[in-house]
Structure 1
């Protein structure tokens, strides 16, 4: 009988959909398991074969947990607002809503064709007003608690597109899309005060099970450090505040650097004798992105503020002040103290400008990492600190600064507040209005959702405002406070907004009274296992943890952390070993693979391709081996033998395989689990067929990996119900041990032979048998055995002389 994968897969996908096979149950008394993958942005390109790697792995876990008796929630939805859709809409003159609808339909059909066991009854879409009503509601709660605020700030401004760009959209000082020059411009932006949660976002990582590289990225992005805020005087009488983790090196400060945008540049303009050169440098810096400005490898540039000097607070020495583009006004205080004797970047700058370099830590290392994190040694050339260890000097100088009123102990963070405004159309409207009399006022919650109105033109205005600013009938409204005239906010929310809480909506997606019912949240949260790409382990993970913690603080959710466990997967590369992209011509379309080989083959291959956490290249030849394996499985139905139970010669193999496959699935070692199933199939072929009990167990073990073929064979064999509703097989630990084992024989530490023995062989019996093993006896002739060593289950070592 031919393995007709197309007919089989179509049949079971329809059956699962019609019968809602994978819908999570509303019975909150059952043990639960919440598996989550990052919901995708539905682009016009659809899926490539790299996307399903995460979905398939968690699908296997979810299927295993259902077979273990858990009530499983494995949902899917769409992160569908955002700039790419808006750009496509502008270019092709198609409304973003239509673009999104078409893209979602394509993505959904692709995902269904892979046999993923998503609960489609809980599908969410961030562009649905019934969803973003609650995104807006969360924003209002943040505003009412003082965590959402308006701020004038410098942004990247594209002179061609007339829009604000994120740092990653600026390449070599130009717009990534239109290549027009990008300048810095001050605009009023909505901000979220994520920094208020900085300590908890680090400390609570100790309460969750995240893989190390995810935890490390979270901590590095938040960037908590302990040091001091130090006050430097100036010859103009103004105080300049800097933050440093190394106040012990203050005696080594020989110059200061401030951001080109620093307010003192304008304040001191009539005192700076080279103000024209300073302004020219500032204009050049404004054309660079923050990334370009802070790149460590670039040449150090700057201009001294001639006519003004800083004063070192520990020794009263006057030191020069420079502006340089590697210092950002938005980071820290926008000013740094420079210690070129012990910091590589400061050293390079000092060398370029002929500035003094003073050693203050004996045996110090001119290395940025060593200086910042683990410098040790004894202080030299440091006044009253000389002779102290670095750690003692840190304490002593901080106490001195506080006593003298020249500084304070301070904990600092790299994390900045979240810029939440977008001057775009395709995003959630921000539910705020501005009244000349009452200022900014939140929209009453009863008026949510504030729906995104229809527009004919998606282009931003000439002054960079959102396309919504064109809609005077929509913009002009009344103040919720005084009922006077007011204007709606025309900025929209970023794409991050809807993805910062979507996992909560899955718990109760049709609730029109709350994000989700308290009962559903208490039952399902936290997410038991969340898998996603490493590219999302900073911003998305951080933003969603922040929103969740806030909702916890106001009593909406029952847990302080949203995700109990977080893992990440490696990319699938093109056959040439490079990242898949259209420009490289190495993209593999999963539709083509499913059409040629079937979904089960593709699922199996993506899991067999290698270590789940590491990148792996696609191989057109290797996928054929997975197809042949499934064809052999299909042929098992023709090899059923009379009799029940496991045959004695295969009993140990079955128990060992049940144990290994179950454990490997929960450790994401899918490749070794599949290898174990392939090995068991070889044993079955060698044994001349398969009994019904062996067949039942084999199909259950293979089911999470290849659900369509196993459902079909299960039904044809006459087993009860769907295999998806069956129970995972159990193993007996005692039967996982082989009756006979192979032992190596070493002579003076070198393997010289092997022999078979009973698994429970004693040491004396093993040693005696080793001496009689093939090829060993001649090696012992004329020798004296001075030592006999037995390592149970592994080897015998005979030491001779």
Structure 2
């Protein structure tokens, strides 16, 4: 009998699948239901695939294969998220062009993905760094620009002095760049933004249309959007000719309790307020220090709230009283209006700040049945109650006062009801070469001019120097100097490139029409496949990538390019792969190479282990012994089928009349049902594998003299059920069993409800508490019938000979205990 040699089997079938285009997306079969299976595409770093990739792709491939066998038209594409800073850093370090470095890595990763036996339609492969792709990224930028959703403004940004680029807030960790660990600075630059805030309400409301998304992920998105209902209150500043400063508050009922205002250090009024003041330099130094701190280090619950008095005053909109204006670390310019009203008696943070700096703490809300004397608060009172010391609102319930005060402000022209969001417009500008060029030129005569669609793509130039200093694009003469598309005069190109999140915000749509050379995709193709039915990827992308993809889909829906209003019907965040309890990383020296595992044990072993070792949503702790165990199991499958090839080729008729045959047949159908539900409905791949292993054990223990047709059916079913998990070995065994077509082209096994009914059950027979016999009785028999059956058996009669039965205790389905003397 031949040995199981995956190093021979796997390349053989990968070649067959590739040459036969076995997984090409079917078209023109509208009668069959569609299924769009998608895993997040990789960044082509020089390290190739890691075990997290293997887990992600194995899960997606399992479901795609399962759906094909269940009669679905499946689209299962792959590509590369290929722009970004790592390639540019590699160019600086290695002295190579990032394009060459990236394309080489993309090819390497494709080969590794093929080694895993993944059922991708490679004809739909896209790399976001190719002009064929980013031409349409630029076209979509122009669409947003035409719709008023792309704009340029000056603003404070996170600047990494080492990478020489702008960082998004989430790329700043503890005040340092997430890639090079340099201290991040604040810098004012002209930047391009997408107006995602225009879609804030829809992004929030449509989360309710995603029942197959995990609640925790939807909560993360809701928190990121951060919708708050309240009021805008307008204070005036006498020394600036009554110029207004707007404050957003969710508690207008506490307006009469304001004792100070706080501005963010970045607020545009601060500069004017501190000019000529005695402590101007001290405040400037304070502001410079605060501006370079991360959001977390300024607003964290355990962070000390610090500030300085600007010396300026603001006039209360209803009382006319003047209150001091401070700057403090805990107020951010990108939340609300960048200004906060301090109500220390009814806000814990304000209370601590006021206590620290000796500011007044006026009480304006008290409990229903309790007085709170002014000046005697030991902590902020944040509960509900009666409004006091608040003019016309005294005696009102504070919940009623929230709306009443807001209405009064609007009547007086000093404010209005409004909604505020934590979500800010999406900053897409990056000062680097390796990204999608923004298709804009600047002309002294015409101003800001979009590049016409027919002139796209704006291609990245080759004459660039990667010396680590500044933006290489800005130093490319051939790129910067151009002609104005409007007047034909001299013009300058925009040298910022787009955030790589833009590339990944629409790639799933490009897959539906990947070879279209005239437009990003046709509505007909997009509508045929969208939305994505299953999207698998790490939970670290649960906020930004998913949010931006949802935003893009809604914009394109509004533009009539796609019917779908949400990109991903079912998002499944998988858990991380750990080694000895820690995330795998080169710095920790605990990385396991997928290619080493594949070279030694085969891809099917790697897939089986990673699908069996843990629930897919949970963390998977790598185990060398677990890999060995998976390899041994595949060897046992191989030997079992090989030993029974003559029987399997004969395909004898199924005759499950005997008890052993009935039991194996019942377990076969039970396993079909279990695996079908675990893969198709529950996404519990590990328990599906466990069920197949139980079926294998039953087949292995099946008596030699029992019905052969039942045995052959069970083995054939086992191979079919295993096919989506371990595609190579099952393909080989299926062929050896005498089948001419691929195991992956077979219909998925169907279970018979009648076969699941257990007709007989084996029970223990005890005499005076000791097990003396095993009896077979009808599964549905009642206690009296069980007793009659057991006492009628010749073996039991012999054991009771010469004794008198005093009592018979029946435990249905388990045992009979006969008390006899």
Q: Same fold (TM over 0.5)?
A: yes
Partner of 1:268: 273
Quote the offset at 1:455 in angstroms. 2.7
Query: How far is 1:735 from its partner?
Result: 2.4
* Residue 653 of structure 1: aligned partner: 667
Alignment-derived partner of residue 39 in structure 2: 37
Residues 5-24 of structure 1 aligned to structure 2 (within 5 Å): 5-24=6-25
Which whole-Å deviations, capped at 9, do the CAs of 1:451-506 have from their partners, x for residues lacking one?
A: 11113303466xx4x31122223222221222222111111111112111100111
Shift of 1:377: 4.6
Q: Please, which of 501, 507, 520 is the counterpart of residue 496 of structure 1?
A: 501
Whether the 8 Å contact between 2:699 and 2:715 is mirrored in structure 1 is no
**For 1:571, which of 576, 579, 590 is the aligned residue?**
576
Distance in 2 separating the partners of 1:553 and 1:370 = 47
Q: Is the 8 A contact 1:23 1:120 kept in 2?
A: yes
Contact kept? 1:35, 1:73, Cα under 8 Å: yes
Counterparts of 1:629-778 in structure 2 under 5 Å? 629-640=633-644, 641=647, 643-645=652-654, 647-666=661-680, 667-688=682-703, 691-740=711-760, 758-761=778-781
Contact preservation (8 Å) 1:257, 1:327: yes
The counterpart of 1:350, out of the listed 332, 336, 354, is 354
CA 1:541/1:174 → structure 2, altered by over 3 Å: closer, same or farther? Answer: closer
CA displacement at 1:290 relative to structure 2 = 3.2
Counterpart contact for 1:344–1:367, Cα < 8 Å: no
Larger radius of gyration: 2
Partner of 1:421: 429
Cα separation, 1, equivalents of 2:786 and 2:313: 84
Please give the alpha-carbon distance, in whole angstroms, between the structure 2 residues aligned to 1:370 and 1:736.
64
Instruction: Say whether the 8 Å CA contact 2:253–2:398 is kept in structure 1.
Output: yes
Asked whether 1:206 is paired with 2:203, we answer: no
| Match 1:224 to one of 223, 227, 247 | 227
Query: Residue 777 of structure 1 aligns with which residue?
Result: none
Aligned mates of 1:794, 1:613 — CA distance in 2: 36
The unaligned stretches of length 5 or more in structure 2 are 369-376, 705-709, 765-773, 791-795, 797-805, 817-821
Q: What is the deviation of 1:331?
A: 2.3
| Aligned counterparts, 1:161-240, within 5 A | 161-170=163-172, 173-175=175-177, 181-208=183-210, 209-236=212-239, 237-240=242-245
Q: Distance in 1 between matches of 2:343 and 2:701?
A: 73
| Match in the other structure for 1:339 | 343
2:248 is paired with a residue of what secondary structure?
strand
1:305 aligns to 2:306 (yes or no): no
With over 3 angstroms needed to count, the CA separation of the structure-2 counterparts of 1:569 and 1:309, relative to structure 1, is same
Secondary structure of the corresponding residue to residue 139 of structure 2 = helix
> How far is 1:726 from its partner?
0.7
Distance 1:494 1:233 in 2: 39
Deviation of the 1:160 alpha carbon: 4.7
Distance 1:405 1:54 in 2: 56
Distance in 2 between residues matched to 1:378 and 1:659, nearest whole Å: 62
1:423–1:460 Cα contact (<8 Å) kept: no
Give the Cα–Cα distance (whole angstroms) in 2 for the partners of residues 393 and 551 of structure 1: 42
User: 1:778 corresponds to which residue?
Assistant: none
CA distance in 1, matches of 2:318, 2:164: 48
Distance 1:390 1:596 in 2: 70
How far apart are residue 794 of structure 1 and its match?
11
Establish whether residue 586 from structure 1 lines up as the match of residue 590 from structure 2: yes
Moved more, 254-263 or 162-171: 162-171
Decide which of 402, 407, 411 is 2:419's aligned counterpart. 411
**Residue of 49, 52, 63 corresponding to 2:51:** 49
Residues 127 and 769 (structure 1 numbering): CA distance in 2 closer, same or farther, change over 3 Å?
same
Give the aligned partner of residue 747 of structure 1: none
Q: In terms of mean alpha carbon deviation, does 147-156 or 331-340 score higher?
A: 331-340
- Which moves more between the two structures, 539-548 or 728-737? 728-737
Deviations 1:296-333 (A, max 9, x none): 32221111112x22333344443322101221223221
Aligned twin of 1:748: none
Relative to structure 1, the CA distance from residue 9 to residue 368 in structure 2 (aligned partners, 3 Å threshold; closer, same or farther) is: farther
What are the ranges of 5 or more consecutive residues in structure 1 without an aligned counterpart? 745-753, 775-780, 797-801
Deviation, structure 1 residue 602: 1.0
* TM-score under structure 2 length normalisation: 0.87
Q: Which residue of 1 aligns with 2:491?
A: 486
Match of 1:143 among 131, 142, 145: 145
Change beyond 3 A, Cα 1:697–1:436:
same
Q: For residues 767 and 486 of structure 1, what CA distance do their matches in structure 2 show? A: 99
Give RMSD over aligned pairs. Answer: 3.2
Match of 2:439 in 1: 431
CA distance in 1, matches of 2:305, 2:403: 32
Mapped pair 1:605 → 2:603: no
The 1-side partners of 2:752 and 2:380 are apart by: 53
- Deviation of 1:387 after TM superposition, in Å, equals 4.4
Question: 1 CA distance for matches of 2:230 and 2:91?
Answer: 49
- Matches of 1:725 and 1:518, distance apart in 2: 30
In 1, Cα distance between equivalents of 2:228 and 2:271: 31
Between the aligned partners of 1:583 and 1:284, the Cα distance in structure 2 is 32
CA distance in 2, matches of 1:756, 1:406: 87
Between 1:251-260 and 1:75-84, the stretch displaced more is 251-260
Relative distance call for 1:765 and 1:688 in structure 2 (3 A) is: closer
The answer to whether residue 323 in structure 2 is matched with residue 319 in structure 1 is: yes
- State how far apart, in whole Å, the 2-side matches of 1:662 and 1:367 are: 62
In 2, Cα distance between the equivalents of 1:367 and 1:20?
74
Give yes or no for the alignment of 1:394 onto 2:402. yes
What CA distance in whole angstroms lies between the structure 2 residues aligned with 1:339 and 1:420?
A: 36
Partners of 1:478 and 1:486 within 8 A in 2: yes
